[in-house]
Amino acid sequence: YNAAFESAKKANTPKTWKELCLACVQAGEYKLANSAGMNIVIHPDHLDELIHTYEKYDVSDEMINLLEQAQTLDRTHIGIHTELGVLFAKYHPEQLMEHLRNRFQDLNISKLLRVCERYQLWPEAVYLYSHYNEFDNAINCMIEHSPSAYQHEQFVSLIQKVRNTDVYFKAVIFYLEE
């Protein structure tokens, strides 16, 4: 695999790096797969396929490790940060909130909102809604999923920013009952 890695360096094309990475993942050579993967993740068009490959071989933690390292690259892009958030939601939800706080400006918010809803990560969804200036949706999420999403200070802060009067009255009633 080391010789293949040297050949891929000479060719330096996404296709070559992708083939090498796939072969290394299949063989369990994760260190070399990681090195090859660093040359693929910088190309947004190849990121989904690479993630699918790692998930297919049930080594999502290796993919998470690769994307965490890729965040430090000069050629990083929104897809790297967003897909890392998706993987956190799927496999390590306890790490997602920290990732959202650290990388909020570098994320595809609408994609991560759908993922949070799919995996029922309501506090994270409220965070994304509130920082995306979707205060009505944040309040609705807190009301609908109050056992896990409701936080008093955050609710009081957000209710002042609600635009829809129906949502506002619904929130006031909920607050009084809660």
Q: Give the pLDDT confidence of 69-109 residue by residue, as tens digits.
A: 999 988 899 999 999 999 999 999 999 999 999 999 999 99
Copy the structure tokens of residue 88.
């956190």
User: How many Cα atoms within 13 Å fall on the side-chain side of residue 2?
Assistant: 0
Q: What is the pTM of this model?
A: 0.91
Average pLDDT over residues 156-178: 94
Strand stretches in 51-147, DSSP E? none
**Residue 11 confidence (pLDDT):** 86
* Tally of residues, the chain: 178
**By the 8 A CB rule, do 80 and 51 touch?**
no
Mean pLDDT taken over the chain: 94
**Residue 86 confidence (pLDDT):** 98
pLDDT tens sequence across 45-67: 999 999 999 999 999 999 999 99
Instruction: With a cut of 80, say whether residue 2 has pLDDT above it.
Output: no
pLDDT tens sequence across 102-131: 999 999 999 999 999 999 999 999 999 999
pLDDT tens sequence across 9-50: 888 888 899 999 999 999 999 999 999 999 999 999 999 999
**Residue 3 confidence (pLDDT):** 80
Burial class of 146 by CB neighbour count within 10 A (0 to 12, 13 to 18, 19+): middle
Largest pairwise CA distance in the chain: 68
> CA geometry: angle at 49 spanning 44 and 53, to 5°?
135
DSSP 140: H
Average pLDDT over residues 153-160: 95
